[in-house]
Structure 1
Amino acid sequence: MAYVAITSLKQTLDHLMMNWKLEFTFDEVKHLQDLTEKISVIEKMLQDSANKRVIDHKKIKHLEGCIRDMAHKAEDFIEEYLYIKAEASDVAAFEEELNLQCHLLEVLNEINSIRTLLTKIYQESDAAAIKLQRASNTRSIEHLSGWSSNPKENDHMVVGIDNDLLKIKDRLTGLPSKLDIITIVGMGGIGKTTLGRKVFNDPLIEYHFYIRAWVTVSQKYVLRDVLLGLLCSFTKIGDEVFNEKNEKLAELLYRNLKGQRYLIVMDAVWEGKILCDLKRSFPDDKNGSRIVLTSRLIDVAMSVNLDRHQHHMNFLSLIDSWMLLRNEVFSKESCPLDLEVIGKEIAQKCQGLPLAILAVAGHLSSINKTGECWMSVANGIRSLESEDQENCLDILGLSYMSLPHHLKACFLYLGAFPPDFEIPVWRLIRLWVAEGILRAEWPKSLEQVAEMCLQDLISRSLVMVRKRKSDGGIKSCGVHDLVRDLIFREAEKEDFLLVVESDAKFLPRYAYDKRRLCFHHQIGRSMLNSSRSNVDHLSHMKPSILPNRSILFYGRLQVTEFHKMLDSHVSFTDFKLLRVLEILFRFFEDFPVEVTFLVHLRYLALSTNTYFPTCLSQLWNLQTLINEHYKIVNLPTDIWKMPQLRLLYLKNGGCIPYPIGSRALTEINTLVLPNLNKLSTINFAGCYRELVACVPNLKKLGIRVMQFKSFPAHNCLNDLLYLSELEKLKCIFLERDNQLFHWNAFPPKLRKLTLGGSFLPWEKMKSIGMLPNLEVLKLKDYAFSGPEWQVAEDEFCQLKYLLIDGTDLVHWGVTGSHFQRLRQLILRCCRHLNEIPIGVGEIPTLQIIDLDDSSTLAVSSARLIQEEQHSWGNDGLIVRIHPRD
């Protein structure tokens, strides 16, 4: 992970140089500038290494390790330097450690040595590449024996692709008559090549096409090899043709295909550019010729036929998975009944991936066919150590090896989450950003860059979409178990992260040297206390500075003291350089004040022990519940001393302090969290303008609004207007307050708004309707109350998604001229609504009307709308009716 280490170091250097509180000497400034420039050179050389066709991988791997270690060492010093400057009361005591100029010179000398070695390796690689190219030009025809006009199908039974086969055959033999391109897309091991072979060797296809050619394309393909491979597939060529230049080979291929109905299958394509290179070699005689590409990359499919057919391979069903497993293990024999139940469980755990099923089948074939042996496989299917599974990982590893440097780190970070964990996209994106593994690409924010990276991983079939958001974006994602095994294998090679498993007797000493530390299972006192006997005198073995940047707990914690969560000899204040801290399965009675000493923290997610009702009936007695039984967690004032925070997430809420606190009023300008991007969930007794001023770049805010006896009645919700960058707001009201009738101002850039329990009159909807960028509106638990809502013509010009969940609305005045961009209308618990106006069906963009637990009149009108639209030919409108409980 040399590239990622360099990227993170550059960010740290930028932060150091922009720190206005520090004063540098002329020599220090010069060294910092030299260091930044030389690091940029190293970064560029690492980027170029991905495009080197021939390279001494052993040497470059060793050198990348040296670059990573150098970058980590430099970053550790710089961030410790910043920590001491920010927190130490007696900086003079650290004078020797704070010798910035000396450390910078040391790093510069190390970089010079690395750059020299890196240049030498690249020069050797370039020379080797030229030599190899010359050798390839003199190869004989025998070297092309890998290409075949009749690719053999493997011995494995083909199941679950009958429908796929029919669809592809229809596309190949039907319209249009012009040359058409079909792409078969899916993750590695899902059966793309198997389907391609089945189609290629089908008797109907063989009869239909006069010429058929199959070629397997490598990741770093050579155009000459592809041209020769295609020619060898359907004609005999001699050495004289083999020695021709690319232009002559392309012309020869064209002449052989001209006037023929041909089928070209290019398997395992990694770059859409290949069709551009071969375009003039494929004549279009309007005779039904076809080109089929198989690829793991959706981007390849999009680039070669944006408006044409893309066939996405799906995972096998449980029935097909079991059929494939059974036939691989027993062939023509029958499976004993006592093994069938266990076998189906094993097949289910393979999650429909043929590659995984074949790997497990290979293992089952080599062991005794007994219930005990099969049950052991079912219980430990993820930890199978077989040659077949290694082969599977090697196949999937091709996708990993093709990733750009920054995407490799993003991909490996997915190993931080437990098995079968549905990963919230907002969390993943902000973890990537906080880690410093991504580089800003102006004018995009780091979060936008992270979203693009996630889309890239999805398009490469490495990450699966689990759920979609109301606006069509990705809400959660995950990875296949076999892909997760690949992540752990590569993460271990790269020393990228350490996952502490449930059976760990103690926290190993080397854990404190890892930059990312993840806990996936329950952690109790036995593990934490046993470290005394297993790690002798850890307190004096502990390094002076712990390099950990991330600590994530996904297991339940049995300890109650925050400072004892890791080890009796180590507290969180020892993790001076920590950037990420997530503990969501331990409820804290009080906010741990130790956290505020972690000045480099960028991502903080904790669970508090605050209670809030989850159903509407509890709202009425909330004041008594809170005042008499439950304690509200208050954040310390020193939370404002953490300027690097990008995300502050309190799972069950907490009260944020007044910015000034005990400080002098003149210090207010220093109490700003300029990087804070997401703040949730905060309990406000009032939204003070001073607080809003301290989070100027906030984009996502979640608040619960309440009033207590200890607070004066105060309604400053209009001050949210000053959050000029806010895009998403979720506001839940925990008591009914008539003063809210005066709330009529919202941030201008708001794209998504969720309101609950506010009991605003429908007349107040005017302020929301005039928001110029609002795309998603969710109204829950009587966000608005009253019998009638009349929508005005000039409101909700950009709204795409509307949810009304819980209301006493009776008459809704809306026509087809309103909500001109609405795509989804969701109505829940609208038990008094007398109808959905027939004009709603005339909204041109409307795709879905979804009713759940709503009045029979509303249901009848929804069905009437659908019938009318279908009569007009609008079959795209979907109406979903969920019956009342």
Structure 2
Amino acid sequence: MAYVAITSLKQTLDQLKMNCKLEFTFDEVKQFKAVSEEISVIQEMLQDSADRNYDHTMMKHLERCIRDMANKAEDIIEEFVYIKAEALDDAAIFEEELSLHHHMMEVLSEINSIKYMLTKIYQESDAAATKVPRARNHSVEHASGWSSTQEETLVVGIDNDLLKVKEKLTGLPHKLDILTIVGMGGIGKTTLARKVFNDPLIEYHFYVRAWVTVSQKYVLRDVLLGLLCSLTRLGDEIFKEKNEQLAELLYRTLKGQRYLIVFDAVWDGKILYDLRRSFPDDRNGSRIVLTSRLIDVNMCVNLDSHHHHMSFLSLNDSWELLRHKVFLEESCPPELEVIGKEIAQKCQGLPLGILAVAGHLSSIRKTKDCWKTVADDIRSPESKDQENCLDILALSYKSLPHHLKACFLYLGAFPQEFEIPVWRLIRLWAAEGILRAEWPKTLEEVAEMCLQELMSRSLVMVRKRKSNGGIKSCGIHDLVRDLILREVEKEDFLLVLKSDANFFPTDAYYKRCLCFHHQISRSYGMFNSSSRIEHCDYMKPAIPRCRSILFYGRLQVTEFDKMLDSRVTVMDLKLLRVLEILFRFFEHFPVEITQLVHLRYLALSARTYFGTCLSQLGNLQTLINEHDRNVTLPSDIWKMPRLRYLHIKNGACLPYPAGAKAIASNSLVLTNLHKLSTVSFTNCYRETFACLPNLKKLGICVMQPSHNCLDDLLYLAELEKLKCVFLGRGQFSGWNAFPPKLRKLTLNGSFLPWEKMRTLGLLPNLEVLKLKDYAFQGPEWQVEEDEFCQLKYLLIDGTDLVQWGVTGSHFRRLQQLILRCCRHLDEIPSGVGEIPTLQIIDVDDSSSLAVSSARLIQQEQYSMGNDGLIVRIHSRE
């Protein structure tokens, strides 16, 4: 990870130039500049190494030297910055300055030695250059936005499988039956199951269908809720029910129906045993489908069961999949076909391996020499075991450019089968310092490009999409994750600690990223009964160089109450950049966290009245009485200059930045903060927003709205995304203006009259508008001619709207219209169908008149030759 270490150090030095709150001597500035210039040269040389032939053993050794040098320099600099930020006495500062000067001279000397060795290696490689060029990685140009075909894959070689599975599901016997689709990881079990699930015959044959993915360590409650959410619309009260009530509700929902339930990625058949009483057998041909790597996964239930074994693709099917992935609808040049089939044969018929290699072939020159190099790099295995499959996938990893390797390996920080929110992944990448800045792009934009490229190489899969077509969540295949963990161990990149560990390994000292998965052992010692790190023998010497701590654990309430309280000290975590603890609630914000001057990403869960407010909307006085228990962020939060993302799950109060002089002097201004959520609207005034000049995303809860309480949002000049949740129906009459750069707006429970929509309609850049739980109320909404010029997505979820005045001349860029719980709407005006850009009308749990008018719009458009408009109808019935 030499390139990543250099990139992080370069970013740290660049940040020092912009840090006006710290004063450095002339000699310090000079040394910082010299180091920055020298490592930029090394960075460029490493970037160029992908196109050279060299002694890999010598280069690997040199890369370790580069990594150690960069990490050492960064530790020295950031420790010095931490000491200066603590404002110690002059004598201590002077002593640290002398130490800094000495260490930086050593670093410069090491850099000169490394440059000499790199130059020597490259000179030797040039002298020994062969006539056959190595395959070269070309950076892929990406258009703005996300390709809608990222997750689409040509399905080949499973036609017979599809036919056999459909026959088993729709034929005899009439009694409840189980079908298990069995095969190794990456062979296409989920692809086949999804193809069957969405088949028109299957949709017609079964009255209700549900799909749930079962993790290796599943939680029964999550599975029950997942099934119920697939089958019916749930109210908030359902989440209070016990497992027994949920199981009974599932039984009642399925009773009398011919149903199809798919359990994807099952590792333990106990899930069927736990749910056996929730599946009624009405002898009407209902079916349960499992996908699993284990043949006997369903042996623990007394239901008839059958297996369908997935086989590897034939050579012809393998080549067809590879050819289509690389060339799409174009034909393959004849000179590449023979070598292409050789590559396909070496992939052993494993679809996942074929897609990974095809992604690599798509990124290199399409010449016979380049493809021959790829064919030679794939070791032809004698057996089809998992290690051989990893070797095939490893080709894609080894071929990644330097800047993508760290992004790819970072995915190992998340637990198995974890659905990764893209917003979290993007922000973590940006905060970790593993991304190289590419002006004028922001770090977030660079991260999105990296994610797109990993998806184009079939290394990352799309899980869910956002309203605007972007990627909402992603994930990786189990086999890809196995590869990542194997490479992570080799590269010494991060350390994953699981529930079966009871102490920190000795090599934790050298790790810069620690990830906790599943249950967290009390003996880890990060938090003991007093939660003070200095009282812990295990933790104190373990991670002084740690930059990231990520918790993805799950604890019982009784356990974490014994093990944790609300306080965290910084002790040996003074260099921390990323801290995410979302598995438990904090009664009070850990004030010690504000001493972490290098912190860029902070995500915590607060125990606050926001967490229960949605179930108590009718009892406003109860919420008001709970206000005193709300978590309030400490005033020192304004003294965290590097903070870029602050996420408080369930909400907290933002402190008022006292002192106009401090604001004017820039000492309390969070210049780097880009995302803030979720905060109470208390203290959110013009003075507060003046301290957040570059905020781009904001989530707020409004407790007792007053007249024009949102007007000061106008001063957030860079704000692009805003979510407002109103928890009480106070005297809120609307607003006068919103930030002009606002692109996405979500309003929940504001109960405004439709006349106030005018302010939103005139926003020049608004693309996504979500109106939930009576954001607006009243029987009529008349859209004006000059409103919503850029709107692409409109959601109305919960309203008493009856008449909607809209024509084809309105919403000229609208692509998706989603109507939910619009039970009083007398029609969707026919003019909606005349909107030239409209692609989808989705009507869910709304009036029969709204449903009829949606279908009529589709028929009218079809008769005029517009068969591209999709109308989706959902209902509780």
Give the TM-score, by structure 2 length.
0.72
- Matching residue within 709, 722, 725 for 1:716: 709
Contact 1:573 1:595 in 2 (8 A): no
Corresponding residue for residue 366 of structure 1: none
Contact 1:810 1:832 in 2 (8 A): yes
Corresponding residue for residue 270 of structure 1: 361
- Matching residue within 586, 590, 606 for 2:604: 606
What one-letter code is carried by the residue in structure 1 that aligns with 2:433? G
Contact 2:840 2:869 in 1 (8 A): yes
CA 1:837–1:544 in 2, change beyond 3 Å: closer, same or farther?
closer
**Does residue 786 of structure 2 align to residue 794 of structure 1?**
yes
Corresponding residue for residue 589 of structure 1: 587
What one-letter code is carried by the residue in structure 2 that aligns with 1:693? A
Contact 1:218 1:269 in 2 (8 A): no
Q: Which runs of 5+ in 2 are unaligned?
A: 134-155, 164-184, 189-311, 323-330, 344-356
Q: How far has the Cα of 1:512 moved from its partner?
A: 3.6
Q: How far has the Cα of 1:273 moved from its partner?
A: 6.3
Contact 1:522 1:556 in 2 (8 A): yes
**Does residue 633 of structure 2 align to residue 641 of structure 1?**
no
Corresponding residue for residue 216 of structure 1: 339
Corresponding residue for residue 224 of structure 1: none
Q: Distance in 2 between matches of 1:512 and 1:219?
A: 46
Corresponding residue for residue 750 of structure 1: 742
Q: How far has the Cα of 1:443 moved from its partner?
A: 1.2
Contact 2:570 2:595 in 1 (8 A): no
Corresponding residue for residue 111 of structure 1: 111
Residues 645-656 of structure 1 aligned to structure 2 (within 5 Å): 645-656=643-654
Q: Deviations over 1:244-285 (max 9, x none)?
A: xxxxxxxxxxxxxxxxxxxxxx9887256645899xxxxxxx
CA 1:192–1:441 in 2, change beyond 3 Å: closer, same or farther?
farther
Residues 202-241 of structure 1 aligned to structure 2 (within 5 Å): 214-216=337-339
Corresponding residue for residue 91 of structure 2: 92
Q: How far has the Cα of 1:426 moved from its partner?
A: 0.3
Q: Deviations over 1:840-879 (max 9, x none)?
A: 1111111111111111111111111111111112111111
**Does residue 493 of structure 2 align to residue 496 of structure 1?**
yes
Corresponding residue for residue 299 of structure 1: none
- Matching residue within 458, 463, 487 for 1:461: 458
Corresponding residue for residue 620 of structure 2: 622
What one-letter code is carried by the residue in structure 1 that aligns with 2:483? L
Q: How far has the Cα of 1:615 moved from its partner?
A: 7.8
Q: Secondary structure at the match of 2:678?
A: strand
Contact 2:744 2:767 in 1 (8 A): yes
Q: Distance in 1 between matches of 2:620 and 2:47?
A: 58
Corresponding residue for residue 122 of structure 1: 122
Q: How far has the Cα of 1:200 moved from its partner?
A: 12
Corresponding residue for residue 32 of structure 1: 32
Corresponding residue for residue 839 of structure 1: 831
Contact 1:552 1:581 in 2 (8 A): yes
Q: Distance in 2 between matches of 1:830 and 1:541?
A: 55
Q: How far has the Cα of 1:18 moved from its partner?
A: 3.1
**Does residue 729 of structure 2 align to residue 736 of structure 1?**
yes
Q: How far has the Cα of 1:545 moved from its partner?
A: 8.0
Residues 186-585 of structure 1 aligned to structure 2 (within 5 Å): 194-195=315-316, 214-216=337-339, 270-271=361-362, 274-275=365-366, 388-528=385-525, 546-557=544-555, 558-560=559-561, 571-585=569-583
- Matching residue within 724, 727, 732 for 2:720: 727
Contact 1:193 1:267 in 2 (8 A): no
Q: Deviations over 1:615-673 (max 9, x none)?
A: 86732313323415872111000000101011000111000100117x96576631011
Contact 2:620 2:728 in 1 (8 A): yes
What one-letter code is carried by the residue in structure 1 that aligns with 2:127? A
**Does residue 864 of structure 2 align to residue 868 of structure 1?**
no
CA 1:537–1:730 in 2, change beyond 3 Å: closer, same or farther?
closer
Q: Deviations over 1:373-395 (max 9, x none)?
A: xxxxxxxxxxxxxx821111110
Residues 25-174 of structure 1 aligned to structure 2 (within 5 Å): 25-52=25-52, 54-99=53-98, 100-130=100-130, 160=158
CA 1:117–1:877 in 2, change beyond 3 Å: closer, same or farther?
same
Q: Distance in 2 between matches of 1:89 and 1:536?
A: 21
Q: Secondary structure at the match of 1:763?
A: helix
Q: Secondary structure at the match of 1:741?
A: coil
Contact 1:188 1:395 in 2 (8 A): no
CA 1:639–1:530 in 2, change beyond 3 Å: closer, same or farther?
closer
Q: How far has the Cα of 1:565 moved from its partner?
A: 9.9
Q: Secondary structure at the match of 1:654?
A: strand
Give the TM-score, by structure 1 length.
0.71
Contact 2:735 2:759 in 1 (8 A): no
- Matching residue within 772, 777, 801 for 2:769: 777
Corresponding residue for residue 327 of structure 1: none
Q: Distance in 2 between matches of 1:825 and 1:666?
A: 43
Q: Distance in 1 between matches of 2:551 and 2:397?
A: 26
CA 1:597–1:561 in 2, change beyond 3 Å: closer, same or farther?
farther
Q: Distance in 2 between matches of 1:210 and 1:513?
A: 50
CA 1:213–1:59 in 2, change beyond 3 Å: closer, same or farther?
closer
Corresponding residue for residue 824 of structure 1: 816
Corresponding residue for residue 336 of structure 1: none
What one-letter code is carried by the residue in structure 2 that aligns with 1:718? D
Contact 1:834 1:858 in 2 (8 A): yes
Contact 2:522 2:563 in 1 (8 A): no
Q: Secondary structure at the match of 2:616?
A: helix
Contact 1:573 1:597 in 2 (8 A): no
Q: Secondary structure at the match of 1:50?
A: helix
Q: Distance in 1 between matches of 2:864 and 2:760?
A: 33
Corresponding residue for residue 347 of structure 1: none
| Structure number with larger C-alpha Rg | 1
CA 1:426–1:814 in 2, change beyond 3 Å: closer, same or farther?
same
Q: How far has the Cα of 1:105 moved from its partner?
A: 0.9
Contact 1:674 1:696 in 2 (8 A): yes
Contact 2:611 2:650 in 1 (8 A): no
Q: Distance in 1 between matches of 2:85 and 2:870?
A: 59
Q: Distance in 1 between matches of 2:864 and 2:830?
A: 14
CA 1:93–1:824 in 2, change beyond 3 Å: closer, same or farther?
same
Q: Deviations over 1:123-158 (max 9, x none)?
A: 22222224x769xxxxxxxxxxxxxxxxxxxxxxx9
Q: Secondary structure at the match of 2:617?
A: helix
What one-letter code is carried by the residue in structure 2 that aligns with 1:791? V
Residues 688-707 of structure 1 aligned to structure 2 (within 5 Å): 688-707=685-704
CA 1:419–1:714 in 2, change beyond 3 Å: closer, same or farther?
same
